[in-house]
Structure 1
């Protein structure tokens, strides 16, 4: 675990709320100079605490109103590394979690319509990755992590 102090945590929180804040604005909130904030951010990036700066996009405004959660049980003999790599590359996949219990993975997807959900499942089946799956559609979203377009 990377050792960070309360000021580093506060900087991370401030950046996660709005990464467009100036270093001076952040410094005023944590009691540091602009150059000290810049140095701390540089070190947080080097240590892997800050992984990226990204925009939080509205999925519905981008034409992706359907959120679905797909429980996946991998088929026997599947190259799990290939499955993980494929999920990481699919723009429709917004999260993929290796889970405990009767399922192998929980995959979250965002799509323009229900046909996209069917197409996603058909792609998993055609690739021979899944033994079985169960899909749930989100009726509405109360809390969602920042959404970013993936290419």
Structure 2
């Protein structure tokens, strides 16, 4: 990966919908050469996909939270992982190290739905302890665009 590839990645992180023509103008290559570089970056796995950013509040799920989950020791958690990901509120389920086994990222309609989810974790999913943190706001500039700093 050379300096031009890094600029291409930075531009695509900022705006994944750029046309090859617009991207080419920003990196001072032809659209064909730019498209070829994006194809190579995709085939090599550096670019893993292009996604739409969704406003969860506009979808009726304005309440976001992280839920740390500790489970009983023992059984394989594959069934639990699959079950959690079928819940509409669960956006992400991450297996982590440390005191907790999983961290869930959830988007709920309201506190009632969040409460129901937290209460279901021990009954239906075998958690022995949870810790819930509400997301108050996202600091501007955090998230995917910060990847640009890695490309410098």
Distance 1:130 1:29 in 2: 50
Distance 2:79 2:43 in 1: 28
What do residues 38-93 of structure 1 show as CA deviations (whole Å, max 9, x unaligned)? 11111222122222211112222221110111011122223222333344444422
What do residues 82-109 of structure 1 show as CA deviations (whole Å, max 9, x unaligned)? 3333444444223333322211122111
What do residues 99-151 of structure 1 show as CA deviations (whole Å, max 9, x unaligned)? 222111221111111112122223432333312111111233325647xxxxx
TM-score by length of 1: 0.80
Q: Which deviates further from its counterpart, 88-97 or 19-28?
A: 88-97
SS in 2 for 1:26: helix
Distance 1:135 1:103 in 2: 12
Q: Which deviates further from its counterpart, 127-136 or 65-74?
A: 127-136
> When you count helix as a share of all residues, which structure comes out higher?
2
Match of 1:60 in 2: 57
Structure 1 residue runs of 5 or longer lacking an equivalent are: 147-151
Aligned residues: 143
Match of 1:78 in 2: 75
Distance 2:27 2:63 in 1: 39
Indicate conservation of the 8 Å contact 1:98/1:106, yes or no. Answer: yes
Distance 2:23 2:76 in 1: 45
| Change over 3 Å in CA distance of 1:56–1:76 after alignment to 2 | same
Structure 2 residue runs of 5 or longer lacking an equivalent are: 145-152
Indicate conservation of the 8 Å contact 2:61/2:107, yes or no. Answer: yes
